[in-house]
Amino acid sequence: MNNPITRSTDETCNIVQDLLPLYYDDVCSPSSKRLVEKHLKACEKCQNTYNELKNDSIDSMIKKEADSVLKQHEKKEKTAAYKAGVIIAGLLLIPILITFIVCLSNGGGLNTFAVVTASMLLVAAMTAIPLMAQQKKLTKCIICGVFALLLIFFFVDKMYSSNEFMLWSVPTIFGLSIVLFPFVIRGIELPAALSDKKALITMLWDTLWLFLTIIEVCGHTNDAAGMKAGCIIAFVFVIAAWLIFFDARYLNTNRFIKSAIIVLIVSVWTAFADDVCEFFIFGTRQITIKSVDFSDWTSDICVNANVYTIVLVSGVIIASILFAAGIISLKAHKKTNVSGL
């Protein structure tokens, strides 16, 4: 007959060996953990099983080999991409050389050659550079592309002696900056003191180029009145943009209160920005919403007043609701923290 003691020991070993993986990962219950530890002290068989479980040298070797294979594959892919970039760059040289030869054979200037060269640089910025760059591909692609585009403007301006290089370049940089500068600044390593201020730098950059664009466009046509009006209008709306930025980026409160402030800023600026601009440009003192008349949607002044009033009232109501939700959220959060202590 089977020895009851031996059968009981075997059952305990089976239970413990089932628990060993959980014990090794430290995810079993306290009672199971005590059972395993007590059994391991007396059972050499289960001790050996546990030691084998702890020996992860095979897993480490497999992982190391897998990492090595992945690195080799990555290296091959980078090499192939680099070769493709070199080939594309070489192909782009062909129209440049043809244009150079044609310009020399005709005895003409090299203006056309310069424009074609700059155009090929722009194509290379979109194709060859992303393949050849090892890091920060998007940043390098954008910088090289903008540089090539400015070269095109420069050589075309020289070709036709139009003296409009700045007129073309400044608005172009401003337009591209709005979309692309956040990606560029994200990929640039800044000093530690500025590393957390990339959003602020982006706002400063876009604001600078906005005013440079107004000054350049109006200055090119000697339109002093237009420059004054453009700068005043831009300044009024840039203030709103900066207030929204500081609220969203730096105000230390919850999202409901931040959203309430943004809604309030937008609604107030929509209702009164035109009046402020009219005052500083023409010296006209007016408050458009005073002409509100919801029974009249025919005259421009009433339409503007009605729309501004609707936006203002709606904004105040929405902002009030968001403020209330924010205050409730703050109180609930504070209560949770107090109860947690």
For 19-54, the pLDDT digits (tens) are 888 887 777 888 888 888 888 888 888 888 877 776
Is residue 273 over pLDDT 90? yes
Own/partner contacts of 313-318, CB < 8 Å, gap of 24 or more, are 314/267, 315/263, 315/264, 315/266, 315/267, 315/268, 315/270, 316/264, 316/267, 318/260, 318/263
pLDDT score, position 4: 47
Query: Residue 282 in 3-state DSSP?
Result: helix
Single pTM value for the model: 0.70
C-alpha distances in Å from residue 1, one per residue of 4, 7, 14, 338: 9, 11, 21, 66
**Cβ atoms of 260 and 322 closer than 8 Å:** yes
- pLDDT top residue among 102 and 144: 144
Q: Which amino acid does the sequence have at 121?
A: L
Q: Is the pLDDT of residue 75 over 90?
A: no
| For residues 258-281, average pLDDT | 95
Q: Which amino acid is at 120?
A: M
Banded pLDDT at 5 (limits 50, 70, 90) = very low
As a whole-number percent, the residues of the chain with pLDDT over 90 amount to 41
| Model confidence at 59: pLDDT above 90 | no
Angle (CA) 148 151 154, round 5°: 160
pLDDT reported for residue 169? 94
Work out the pLDDT band at 339, boundaries 50, 70, 90: low
Distance between CA atoms of residues 249 and 339, nearest Å: 30
